[in-house]
Structure 1
């Protein structure tokens, strides 16, 4: 830890020394370009218009904003020919030649900007740079436009994306819901199928172009994902060359070193993109307590405290390749590998009291480990047509698999009324999937038609064993009654049809998806089976209206979604790592259904505003349910289709440039939720207000220095049987471009005033009340270096349609 602190101090000292270095006065300081910008119709001078000074169409030398009188000035230039590129929200881009090779000063005069009719597919809602974009059914956040992408991981940056929030355990929520699907470049990836947190916190945000939040998924996407879809775009642009980026970072006292990056290349008709990374994530000792009070016929009081240490390693590598046979035929493929290993120790002390005496007491030493591997491979063929190159026919195939193995050794000591011997738990899980898909896109004048067929074949398996120590053999032997082998075959067959119609200021998008699901579960050890078969019709509608005034617009959307249970919820493996709390899955779960209504308004003037509200209604909602057994004094936590719920919410995203150097961004959500369900055959209702707010502000100094501050508040959350406490997250970061557009150094501190976070979770049932308290490290320091190489030019051609399996809960 001392070494890491020293590294951080040296990094901050280096950045400080660079900040105060004297400005060199070169021989070319008198070469200047000046001008002003105004509206071509009203003649009004325009402020906060982006001005880029370029030596060619790909190299920006300087960038600035017009002042309140519309003027701009570039000085300290070299005697070269330049291009001045002027970009303003709601105006057509303007390019003006500026040749300084023959004079020391060039006045371009008044440059008039022409209004641009806003397209239906996309409207910029950022007043300075295109940080946020609103489309008919989604909103996107441009990470390359946010300087903090050089400091943080993709997981850290999720806090700033509209509709997204993170809790204290870094779990992502989309519109307050943990059920969503993550795609990479519009496609599923094994990198984020099994454990997205491990991968996203090892993935540098500087390697990502943007994050899309698809709030009203159209019918071409699978029906699963109650809240929507998160699409992470990593693709880069390159023309007959190579470009990429590499990021090296360190986080302490919890976390560890990490490295990641991406590289793209194009050689004639071949295009290739690769990304790789890895990280170490260590959590020093944390402290937990559990208190449970029961009010059955024999009241009891359970008290547990424990100390935990965990270590994990994760890595990923992905590769995409495409070959352009000719202008109408394209072949592409991808392959991804990822893996992780974890280990941990848990020392627990447990005391159960009742009637003024100790009913049970024991000490528990739990040493656990786990490892997982995943891979997926896909092949796509895209056929265009001479009559219309936007007409596309695509055939796709994908194979995906992951394995996850868990092992825990548990030793009992200092027993009072605890007769069970030491034991081991093993749970080996595997998941494989094959997908075949055909998509057809047919544009006709202002109407765009999409249709497709899809078949998904899934195979889930689990082999879980409970081994008990026997003195006769001095070894651990399998207990058949507590062990089983579980196999679950699930097939999904789908067909969809979507229509999008564009008028001058209106856009309409509607479609429906028909899905047939069959499932066969087999408990091999107990020779029992279970079958399910259900049909779902899933509609979706999106409407957009654009207004000329203030470059604004409105969006209206409705979608119906389903949540099929995943293997973790179905698997009947019983986790007995805490003898007083057993956790298991439920193979009898049915899919949950949701109706999602939302309306939004966006505006882009000097600042930007995006506001949306809506309601979400759930039936057969899958909830974890905790039931207390007074005979065994054990709480059994499982999943059940016990819930109906409704959620009314409002989301706000606001960006405002106070000056050309200082801007602020606010991303907020407020919701009122009400949940009904059944716990232990008794009705339960819970409701409350949930709030998440992120405020970030950045200031750009001279010499390519940047400082950013973030403040994030997450209010209490609620579920069927309880709630959790609120918390405040803050961070401060500083970055410096040492070599412009190439090498940057960054440092940050998270929660500088709070070393530990106090996390409370409250749970109750008809006959018990429980409080879980966890104290964990909250303050952390980050240092990173980011290097970019190559030039960005024409985009690698990729299939516009491909497999997106977004129908299984994360």
Structure 2
């Protein structure tokens, strides 16, 4: 009962707070607003990211400005009454000036409607775009982080980018969570990939930061999206090039902990375009340590304390290479295809792993080991898309196909020394080859309903064939040169095959009504068929098939001055990944062994959300409250064997509830200085629902995280950017994960008409080693561990563009399958007369 009371109290508080903010946003102070939509005069397509500047009509000095979103829409606030001229500019288009616009107290909300710009054939080096694009954009159903404007991530990977994104948290191992939930669906350019399905943290390390255009955080996905991911959908958009000509981009970074080199080439001639790219990154001098203390409590006997300490070394090598092709058959038909190949080699060493066992403060044994873990993987993705558009705006049909395969070798050798590091007594080895393979076909159709332009119908179907294989074998050997002998035990050496077929259909309907209201409702049905077996035994793996209905509702209302309030409900499903299903026993640490459970069921989550966004001057604010309830949550079950080994497996025994509030803001202090930051907090309530006191567990508490990013433009093309992120203690079912923080500073200069840039970066430069303190508490186990990571880094960054591109003859048409929901708006309000310069 106390949980329901807490949730009700929190939601009432959030609703009251949002209502107060809504009233405050439309208070007595007069707020002026100018809005419009920027289109290509030749194609009537939106011009994303065009710059809109408001100039004083007399002095022609810039007073305020904005950047158009993906739909070409913009609005400008933060100015007083007076006479102004609106100036539009974008690469490859003639700049456009309006007739004088009179702003007075009786004319506060000026809607200019569609504003059309004409193309001009100019090289990129001949055009200078004034103004800065916002790092964070807020849309009806998602938050967009424009990563290409963040110079602090140069030389990093996708995990470095995601640490800067509101509502996301990325720990030092690269594990991603959205508002406290790690069960999220990660897409790359709107598509799933076996790379991500196998291990999100590993996949992110393969994507260079320089190749990421933006990141979309979708907390309330529509029915068009797969039901996978109880926490929401994360869509990583990579950079694409639709311009004419040829170019070669070179970027590199060399640092204390790692270096990278990337080459990306593009060629566009007429209707056909090619892209070819490669990126390699090495990591070295990644040192750390861990200190682990386990207390095993025996109600009938003496307590046992086990201490483990070791130094760690990590070396890694990543590579990602891609080839892309697109072809415009005619005005309404488009083809795209791509092949992407990635490799990831990570080698982890635990040197001098000392295990001391005490019984009632008396030392019983001391064992000395070295542990070598090799995680070697490669992957390939092959995409093909056909898109047909029509004369009717927003009408589109698309077919998308994807083949994806990921191979992962996760092997270890554990050497036990006989007292000193010169005499190896015995060795054990585990070899585990994991294969993830997927084939996907998807059909989508979008069409407007009626002639009003405020109704959109979307429907489609999708089929995913997944195959996961785990081949594992266990070996033992005597001494340092004894031959490894495979253990003849089907539990330790076997092959597990897991086939999954997901067939889905969906329908979604969007309606704009009462001028300022929009509702988007949809229903998705997914049927999952599973076959699983062990090759060398009759071990049970009978997993029933199941069907799931996934409803979603999003309602939004536009308020005065560009403010918005929205509410949403959706249901999500989280199927267990191979890391939870894998029956291979991980014995790399002899005192803490783990094994997956092939009989796991999926998790189901209901999400409720209430959000309000507003603008104060030239700054934006967003407040989001939410409640999340997960049933059948996959949770670890830990037991202690007779030889004091902690053994971990997984069961669908958990219930997770979380009620939270997220606040983030983008503040434009001036045309040269901007700040954005966020605070995410939630109260977590977890229980496993077991009655046996030896296994029953529950926990609750607050989890808080925050980030701050600053950008300042200096004279002569210099720029300085700073970033920091911190997360407090995270509540877990049996204990907690320690908090951590990180920070960085980057100084960058552009040269040769902004073709090249060179910069210097520092990361965690005041902290020699971060320490994370984790805690595990059960009726029989108490464990405290300290993990040390030395992430201090200094680096030099360099990039240069060779070649010349122009927009002559190019068309801004959508390619392939897109996942953007309709953005309402149109030719409302008075239009201003625009002139080309």
Cα–Cα, structure 1 residues 651 and 788, in superposed 2: closer, same or farther, change >3 Å? farther
Name the residue aligned to 1:756.
769
- Kept in 1, the 8 Å contact 2:346–2:376? The answer is yes
Name the residue aligned to 1:307.
311
- Kept in 2, the 8 Å contact 1:322–1:797? The answer is no
Cα–Cα, structure 1 residues 471 and 161, in superposed 2: closer, same or farther, change >3 Å? closer
Per-residue CA deviation, residues 45-76 of structure 1 (Å, 9 max, x unaligned), is 99999xxxxxxxxx9xx9997799995549xx
Name the residue aligned to 1:438.
443
Secondary structure of the 2:341 match is strand
Name the residue aligned to 1:483.
493
Cα–Cα, structure 1 residues 439 and 692, in superposed 2: closer, same or farther, change >3 Å? same
Distance in 1 separating the partners of 2:142 and 2:648: 36
Q: Does 1:639 align with 2:637?
A: no
Name the residue aligned to 2:665.
654
Map residues 14-29 of structure 1 onto 2, 5 A cutoff. none
Distance in 1 separating the partners of 2:210 and 2:813: 22
Name the residue aligned to 2:398.
394
Which stretch of the first structure deviates more once superposed, 209-218 or 567-576? 209-218
Per-residue CA deviation, residues 599-647 of structure 1 (Å, 9 max, x unaligned), is 1111234211111111111111112333223x12010122221210111
Name the residue aligned to 1:30.
none
- Aligned to 2:556, which of 544, 549, 558? 544
Name the residue aligned to 2:234.
230
Cα–Cα, structure 1 residues 699 and 230, in superposed 2: closer, same or farther, change >3 Å? same
Name the residue aligned to 1:720.
733
Q: Does 1:375 align with 2:380?
A: yes
- Aligned to 2:817, which of 778, 801, 808? 801
- Aligned to 1:240, which of 241, 244, 251? 244
Distance in 1 separating the partners of 2:543 and 2:410: 28
Map residues 618-767 of structure 1 onto 2, 5 A cutoff. 618-629=630-641, 631-677=642-688, 682-767=695-780
Secondary structure of the 1:753 match is coil
Distance in 2 separating the partners of 1:491 and 1:93: 58
- Kept in 1, the 8 Å contact 2:357–2:366? The answer is yes
Which stretch of the first structure deviates more once superposed, 189-198 or 314-323? 189-198
- Kept in 2, the 8 Å contact 1:151–1:735? The answer is no
Distance in 2 separating the partners of 1:178 and 1:96: 42
Cα–Cα, structure 1 residues 212 and 96, in superposed 2: closer, same or farther, change >3 Å? closer
Cα–Cα, structure 1 residues 792 and 685, in superposed 2: closer, same or farther, change >3 Å? farther
Report the alpha carbon displacement of residue 359 of structure 1 after superposing the two structures with TM. Answer: 3.2
- Aligned to 2:468, which of 460, 463, 467? 460
- Kept in 1, the 8 Å contact 2:87–2:98? The answer is no
Cα–Cα, structure 1 residues 235 and 758, in superposed 2: closer, same or farther, change >3 Å? closer
Distance in 2 separating the partners of 1:443 and 1:150: 42
Distance in 2 separating the partners of 1:152 and 1:404: 23
Distance in 2 separating the partners of 1:331 and 1:68: 46
- Kept in 1, the 8 Å contact 2:292–2:309? The answer is yes
Q: Does 1:593 align with 2:604?
A: yes
Cα–Cα, structure 1 residues 747 and 626, in superposed 2: closer, same or farther, change >3 Å? farther
Map residues 323-402 of structure 1 onto 2, 5 A cutoff. 323-347=327-351, 348-385=353-390, 388=392, 390-402=394-406
Distance in 2 separating the partners of 1:273 and 1:705: 30
Which stretch of the first structure deviates more once superposed, 615-624 or 175-184? 175-184
Per-residue CA deviation, residues 504-528 of structure 1 (Å, 9 max, x unaligned), is 3222111111111111211122223
Cα–Cα, structure 1 residues 727 and 118, in superposed 2: closer, same or farther, change >3 Å? farther
Distance in 1 separating the partners of 2:302 and 2:113: 70
- Kept in 1, the 8 Å contact 2:184–2:230? The answer is yes
Secondary structure of the 1:209 match is strand
Name the residue aligned to 2:587.
576
Name the residue aligned to 2:785.
772
Name the residue aligned to 2:623.
611
Cα–Cα, structure 1 residues 485 and 227, in superposed 2: closer, same or farther, change >3 Å? same
Name the residue aligned to 1:31.
none
Name the residue aligned to 1:403.
407
Report the alpha carbon displacement of residue 290 of structure 1 after superposing the two structures with TM. Answer: 0.9
Secondary structure of the 1:216 match is coil
Distance in 2 separating the partners of 1:721 and 1:68: 62
Cα–Cα, structure 1 residues 803 and 448, in superposed 2: closer, same or farther, change >3 Å? closer
- Kept in 2, the 8 Å contact 1:151–1:747? The answer is no
Report the alpha carbon displacement of residue 140 of structure 1 after superposing the two structures with TM. Answer: 0.5
Q: Does 1:217 align with 2:204?
A: no
- Kept in 1, the 8 Å contact 2:198–2:577? The answer is no
Report the alpha carbon displacement of residue 243 of structure 1 after superposing the two structures with TM. Answer: 4.4
- Aligned to 2:295, which of 285, 288, 293? 293
- Kept in 1, the 8 Å contact 2:173–2:201? The answer is no
Which stretch of the first structure deviates more once superposed, 406-415 or 423-432? 406-415
Which stretch of the first structure deviates more once superposed, 785-794 or 179-188? 785-794
- Kept in 2, the 8 Å contact 1:331–1:380? The answer is yes
Per-residue CA deviation, residues 422-462 of structure 1 (Å, 9 max, x unaligned), is 21111011111112222222221322111112221111111
Cα–Cα, structure 1 residues 442 and 406, in superposed 2: closer, same or farther, change >3 Å? same
Cα–Cα, structure 1 residues 238 and 472, in superposed 2: closer, same or farther, change >3 Å? closer
Distance in 1 separating the partners of 2:330 and 2:34: 46
- Kept in 2, the 8 Å contact 1:240–1:268? The answer is yes
Secondary structure of the 1:766 match is coil
Report the alpha carbon displacement of residue 330 of structure 1 after superposing the two structures with TM. Answer: 2.3
Question: Which consecutive unaligned segments of at least 5 residues does structure 1 have?
Answer: 1-41, 50-58, 75-84, 98-106, 120-126, 805-810
Name the residue aligned to 1:414.
418
Counting matched residue pairs gives 724
Map residues 518-537 of structure 1 onto 2, 5 A cutoff. 518-528=529-539, 529-537=541-549
- Aligned to 2:477, which of 445, 464, 469? 469
Secondary structure of the 1:344 match is strand
TM-score for the superposition, normalised by structure 1: 0.82
Secondary structure of the 2:537 match is coil
